[in-house]
Structure 1
Amino acid sequence: MSNENSIMTGIRELPQHLNLKTISSGLLAGIFGITGPAVIIIGGASEAGLTQAQTISWIFSVYFFGALIGLFLSLKYRQPIIGAWSIPGAVLVAAALQNYSLAEAVGAYFIAGVIVFVLGISGVIGKIMYWLPAPIIMAMIAGAMIRFGTGMITSLQSATLVAGSAILAYLVSSRLTKKFPPILSALLVSVTIAAFMGLFQMGDMAPTFVGPQFFTPAFSVGAILSIAIPLAILVIGAENAQASGVLMSQGYKPPINSMTIWSGVGGMATAFFGGHNANIAGPMTAICASEESGKKLSGRYASVIVNFIVFGGFGLLAGIAVPFVIAMPGALVGTVAGLAMIGVLLSSLQAAFSKSRFQIGAFFSLIIAMSGISFFGISSPFWAIIGGVIVSLIIEGKDFEQSRTGGETTTKATA
């Protein structure tokens, strides 16, 4: 891969990388990001008493600005870096809106963006990620993503025909041809069967165009402590850490500081439209970074451009698109997403446990991430890294010493 970081170079090389594989991965990532997650925002907004216009503005901001972040970073670095928003962050915010006004929440969103931006500018996050042991990071990725693999299997129980047809189509397509993406075969077959069975159900939300609203922030100490700080930690410790780890596991050197900086910018921009953040997406980056996007690492970024069209378009037309998107069966999306994660899970597990160092720390990182625990509103990927490092420091101190003296290296990233 070229070391030249130029948006114009990314645009110039894009046509040669747009093919069935990158298009199908980008489409799948977009569908994944706008089905179940959108419902979380809608449900949280409803519980908080937000109007339909305020809810649509929230959706617009996180999807549109998230798509812009992914477009910029993927073209500049020619890596499959997708921008979206934090699902745990939306849950955190929905609960906090019970106690704070929307204006106070908007102020807290903005402060969270400032915190992330400052940490990115300082270079602190890049330095921390560089020195974290790779097996612990990779084990966290495997633990955080394993739910997509198990979800693919549990979907067989809740929607046997739809899930089973997707898995079978993927396996048969993988065996018969290398030219047509297996993941696209799985998606087309399962969508056709779900439609034939009448499983697409429209919700109560009527399609109507609603433009974004502008919100004036108000600042309160309580909202900053309850929303801003936990949200900033989630963006850095869960979303960006997952995405960085996924990219490393696939052989990339992610621009961690730049990813952090633009996640901060995204958080500040979305705040004024009622959105809680726009940052780098973990699971969606995993879909586009996998081998399903093609063998060439240098070309997988093209899938992000496809995702930008789907994701950004959904944000702009949220009022019209939301009712149709939430009609998609969850089992369908979950099964196809699980199939797309196979390569990421395999490479992460191999990187975590194929060497002799940091094995106990990696094991604890894996099981903590798999547990799905949450403390202080912060989700398991963050605690998986913390727990894994603490365990290794206690009983695998020699591995840190050997890494410092030129042995096995830790994670690799660019600034």
Structure 2
Amino acid sequence: MTSTADPASTDDSRAVPVTAGIVCALVGFTSSFAIVLAGLQSVGADRDQSASGLLVVSLLSGAGILWLALRHRVPITLAWSTPGAALLITTGEVDGGWPAAVGAFAVTGLLIAASGVWTQLADLVRRIPPVVAQAMLAGILLPLCTAPVPALREEPWAVAPVLLTWLALVRFTPRWAVPAAFVAAAVVIAVDLVSSGATVPVGDLAPQLTWTTPAWTTQALVGLAIPLFVVTMASQNIAGVAVMQSFGYRVPWRETMAVTGLGTVLGAGSGGHAVNLSAISAALAAGPDAGPDPSRRWIAAVSDGVTFLVLGLASAALATLVALAPAGVVQAVAAVALLGAFVGALGAALADPQTRTVAATTFVVAGSGIAFAGVGSAFWALVVGIAVHLVLRPRSR
């Protein structure tokens, strides 16, 4: 006796991972693209250059996902480095300006690719005490998460709708809270444009890549490339592998680092700061939300990659929208998008009572925003945190 599959059931089994991949891309993109634009502009990019950076990391992420997912039939998802973009915001303009920042992006990509071939380099990142890495990340995110507080005082009509929308959604559907906050911000911007009578040139909405010849300065390499590499590896690549392992998947480490690292090098001249494994949003494509059959969840990754390619085409329009935003609106969206990462990093850093002094020291230095010898606080937080850890760690008999 033979049996035939129910066509409706088959269609549903295909639709679930496809839908999950689209949701994964939409949530990841809308939750953090404003942080990418703000980070690129903070290190010297103009509006066209930052839009180009958003476009290229979107295209490279989508293309990389399609290559890895179709080749290995594993739901591997890639994205830009959101913690890395937050680092750019706190770092500010480096010696040599935007070309030197582009050069630092390229060096970061080379280091990521090298970590796939020379595993000792990845092991070196893993040997950084987790309490130091987490506290450094929390310190980087602190000023970004507090930015809406003074903005709410200065522009309450513009900032309050974003924060209230996020608060209302996070109670019932946390996954869509940040995208909803972005929609609220778009409404605020539209109302402001209508009331002011401003117009948007149609030419500003077309996506385009803008090339910048890289330059290299010691301050940019030490103060930007090294911290960007460490943050991207610790918070994205290594964390992304852990997320995939929790769902029973093995990430092809060498090939993934080659795809993301060389992709970062390829996109650096167009403003792309870093491409890496997804960490937080990876669960949307690799977990049960992508269907009950783990062997078919790679379809969700393919859907995610295609959606990223489509969303990237809106980069110029989104950059224009952000540029026209009233003061404080973009900061509010960025803050609610980063709040979860901040809470997670700070909680992990302070979890062990025996290492809280190390965590507090690293956190304070990273959050201070201090620049010494032209190098930003993230690098010095790393140095100070490791030094304090070595001094205070229990001595073996």
User: TM-score interval w.r.t. the shorter chain?
Assistant: 0.5 to 0.7
Could you say if the C-alpha distance between residues 156 and 128 of structure 1 is closer, same or farther in structure 2, counting changes exceeding 3 Å? Answer: same
For 1:111 and 1:28, how far apart are their aligned partners in 2? 28
Question: Does 294-303 or 65-74 show the bigger shift?
Answer: 294-303
Aligned residues of 1:34 and 1:311 also touching (Cα < 8 A): no
Q: Structure 1, unaligned stretches of length 5 or more?
A: 1-10, 47-51, 403-415
Q: CA deviation at 1:265?
A: 0.6
For 1:83 and 1:357, how far apart are their aligned partners in 2? 34
Match of 2:178 among 183, 205, 210: 183
Match of 1:143 among 122, 139, 143: 139
**1:32 is matched with which residue?**
34
**1:367 is matched with which residue?**
364
Aligned residues of 1:29 and 1:307 also touching (Cα < 8 A): no
Please tell me whether residue 192 in structure 1 is matched to residue 195 in structure 2.
no
Q: CA deviation at 1:352?
A: 1.7
Corresponding letter in the other structure for 2:151: S
Aligned residues of 1:236 and 1:260 also touching (Cα < 8 A): no
Aligned residues of 1:373 and 1:380 also touching (Cα < 8 A): yes
Could you say if the C-alpha distance between residues 309 and 112 of structure 1 is closer, same or farther in structure 2, counting changes exceeding 3 Å? Answer: same
Aligned residues of 1:247 and 1:289 also touching (Cα < 8 A): yes
Question: Does 253-262 or 237-246 show the bigger shift?
Answer: 253-262
Please tell me whether residue 241 in structure 1 is matched to residue 237 in structure 2.
no
Corresponding letter in the other structure for 2:389: S
**1:380 is matched with which residue?**
377
Could you say if the C-alpha distance between residues 347 and 260 of structure 1 is closer, same or farther in structure 2, counting changes exceeding 3 Å? Answer: same
TM-score by length of 1: 0.65
For 1:211 and 1:192, how far apart are their aligned partners in 2? 25
Match of 1:82 among 67, 79, 88: 79
Could you say if the C-alpha distance between residues 386 and 66 of structure 1 is closer, same or farther in structure 2, counting changes exceeding 3 Å? Answer: farther
Q: CA deviation at 1:123?
A: 1.0
**2:263 is matched with which residue?**
266
Q: CA deviation at 1:238?
A: 3.5
Could you say if the C-alpha distance between residues 363 and 79 of structure 1 is closer, same or farther in structure 2, counting changes exceeding 3 Å? Answer: farther
Corresponding letter in the other structure for 1:187: F
Corresponding letter in the other structure for 2:31: A
**2:169 is matched with which residue?**
173
Corresponding letter in the other structure for 2:347: Q
For 1:112 and 1:180, how far apart are their aligned partners in 2? 30
TM-score by length of 2: 0.68
Aligned residues of 1:34 and 1:325 also touching (Cα < 8 A): no
**2:392 is matched with which residue?**
395
Identity of aligned residues (%): 18
**2:6 is matched with which residue?**
none
**2:18 is matched with which residue?**
15
Aligned residues of 1:79 and 1:298 also touching (Cα < 8 A): no
Please tell me whether residue 161 in structure 1 is matched to residue 154 in structure 2.
no
Could you say if the C-alpha distance between residues 168 and 70 of structure 1 is closer, same or farther in structure 2, counting changes exceeding 3 Å? Answer: same
For 1:129 and 1:112, how far apart are their aligned partners in 2? 13
Query: What SS does the corresponding residue of 1:82 show, helix, strand or coil?
Result: strand
Could you say if the C-alpha distance between residues 375 and 136 of structure 1 is closer, same or farther in structure 2, counting changes exceeding 3 Å? Answer: same
Could you say if the C-alpha distance between residues 73 and 376 of structure 1 is closer, same or farther in structure 2, counting changes exceeding 3 Å? Answer: farther
Q: CA deviation at 1:118?
A: 2.3
For 2:53 and 2:167, how far apart are their aligned partners in 1? 39
Q: CA deviation at 1:160?
A: 0.9
Aligned residues of 2:55 and 2:312 also touching (Cα < 8 A): yes
Question: Does 119-128 or 384-393 show the bigger shift?
Answer: 119-128
**1:352 is matched with which residue?**
349
Aligned residues of 1:27 and 1:306 also touching (Cα < 8 A): no
For 2:242 and 2:356, how far apart are their aligned partners in 1? 17
1:228-281 Cα distance to aligned partner (Å, 9 max, x none): 66654243123333435875998977968766544431233125x554643339
